[in-house]
Amino acid sequence: MSPGDYIGALSMPFRAEARPHPLTMKFPLVFFAALVVGTLGEQLFVGDQVLRITASNEKQIALLRALGEREDLQLDFWRDPTKPGHPSDLRVPFPSLQAVKIFLESHGIPYSIMIKDVQQLLDEEKKIMLLSKEQERSTSTFDFASYHTLDEIYSWLDTLVANHPGLVSKIQIGESYEKRPLYVLKFSTGGSNRPAIWLDTGIHSREWVTQATGVWTANKLAEDYGRDPSITAILDSMDIFFEIVTNPDGYAFTHSSNRLWRKTRSINAGSSCIGVDPNRNWDAGFGGSGSSSSPCSETYRGPYAHSESEVKSIVDFILGHGNVKALISIHSYSQMLMFPYGYKSEPAPDFQELNELAEKAVNDLAAVYGTKYTYGSIIDTIYVASGTTVDWAYENGVKYSYTFELRDTGRYGFLLPSSQIIPTATETWPALLDIMLHVQQHPY
Amino acid sequence: IFEKDSTVNCTAEVLYHLGNKNAAPDVQFTIEGELKNTDEADNLFYNRIKSLKNELVAENIPDSYGNVPPEMEPIRALAWAASGYVIWKNSNENTKYQLAQIKHVKQVKRSDEYLEFDYMILLHENVSQEIIPWQMTVLWHPQHGIEVTQNSRQPKHV
Contact B100 A413 (CB under 8 A): yes
Contact A259 B64 (CB under 8 A): yes
Write out the residues of chain B at the interface with chain A, using a CB-CB cutoff of 8 A: 2, 62-67, 98, 100-101, 122, 124, 126-131, 156, 158
- Nearest-angstrom CA–CA distance, A118 and A76: 12
Chain A interface test: which of B7, B83, B98 (most A C-beta within 10 Å):
B98
ipTM of the assembly? 0.93
- Nearest-angstrom CA–CA distance, A348 and A351: 5
Preceding amide of A341 cis, omega within 30: yes
- Pairing relationship of beta strands A239-243 and A196-201 according to DSSP bridges: parallel
In the prediction, which pLDDT does A133 show? 57
- On the 0-12 / 13-18 / 19+ scale of CB atoms within 10 A, A85 is exposed
Chain B interface test: which of A374, A405, A414, A420 (most B C-beta within 10 Å):
A414
Mean pLDDT by groups of 10 residues along chain B of 158 residues: 69 90 91 90 95 96 97 97 97 94 97 96 97 98 96 87
A136 noted as active-site residue: no
Stretch 390-419 of chain A: residues touching chain B, C-beta under 8 Å: 410-419
pTM: 0.77
- Using alpha carbons, list the distances in angstroms from residue A31 to A22, A38, A46, A132, B19: 7, 10, 17, 21, 83
- Using alpha carbons, list the distances in angstroms from residue A205 to A211, A255, A261, B6: 9, 10, 6, 34
Contact A417 B131 (CB under 8 A): no
> Cβ distance A280 to A388 under 8 Å?
yes
What sign does the dihedral A261-A264-A267-A268 (CA atoms) show?
A: negative
Contact A413 B124 (CB under 8 A): yes
Contact A297 B122 (CB under 8 A): no
Nearest Cα of chain B lies from the Cα of A299 at a distance, in angstroms, of 7
Nearest Cα of chain B lies from the Cα of A264 at a distance, in angstroms, of 14
- Chain B residue numbers with beta carbons less than 8 Å from the beta carbon of A209 are none
Per-residue tens of pLDDT for chain A, all 444 residues: 444 443 333 333 334 444 444 444 444 444 444 444 444 455 578 888 999 999 999 999 999 999 998 888 989 888 888 889 888 989 899 889 999 999 999 999 999 998 888 887 777 777 766 665 555 556 557 999 999 999 999 999 999 999 999 999 999 999 999 999 999 999 999 999 999 999 999 999 999 999 999 999 999 999 999 999 999 999 999 999 999 999 999 999 999 999 999 999 999 999 999 999 999 999 999 999 999 999 999 999 999 999 999 999 999 999 999 999 999 999 999 999 999 999 999 999 999 999 999 999 999 999 999 999 999 999 999 999 999 999 999 999 999 999 999 999 999 999 999 999 999 999 999 999 999 999 999 999
In the prediction, which pLDDT does A355 show? 98
Nearest Cα of chain A lies from the Cα of B73 at a distance, in angstroms, of 13
Geometric angle at alpha carbon A384, from A378 and A390, rounded to 5°: 45
In the prediction, which pLDDT does A353 show? 98
